[in-house]
Homo-oligomer: A and B are copies of this chain.
Amino acid sequence: MPTKTYHIGVEATMEIIGGKWKSIILCHLRHHTMRTGELARAIPQISQKMLTQQLRELEAANIVARRVYKQVPPKVEYSLTDYGQSLSGILHELCVWGEDNIDRREAAGESITLLNRDDV
């Protein structure tokens, strides 16, 4: 197999939490285990396709655990793995920095809103 080469650590991190949705999903899972529909309601802009696709990728990277209950209608829960928890601090900082960034831009006259702050 061809060796995968990284030049700097952050490349690997961004491959895992980068993209439009992964960091948002992880920030929610940081607080509680959540069902699929619960995540979808927490992230109203995401489509069902993107939600499951991103969750699959996070699962493959061993960041997120998927637990299926044998029920009808189906029940599936997602949570951070132990390894995924190691991202928790970074995710929190990313949230806080973004909140501050939005505050600054608003103070600078930009028309901008933040609906939810990281409540932990």
Q: Which residues of A contact B (CB under 8 A)?
A: 1-14, 16, 18-20, 23-24, 27-28, 43-45, 83, 86-87, 89-91, 93-102, 104, 110-118
Contacts and interface: CB of A to CB of B under 8 A. Distances in A.
Nearest to A18: B18
A91 B90 CA distance: 9
Contact of A97 (B20, B23, B87, B112): B87
Nearest to A113: B5
Contacts of A4: 110-113
Nearest to A87: B97
Contacts of A116: 7-8
A12 B98 contact: yes
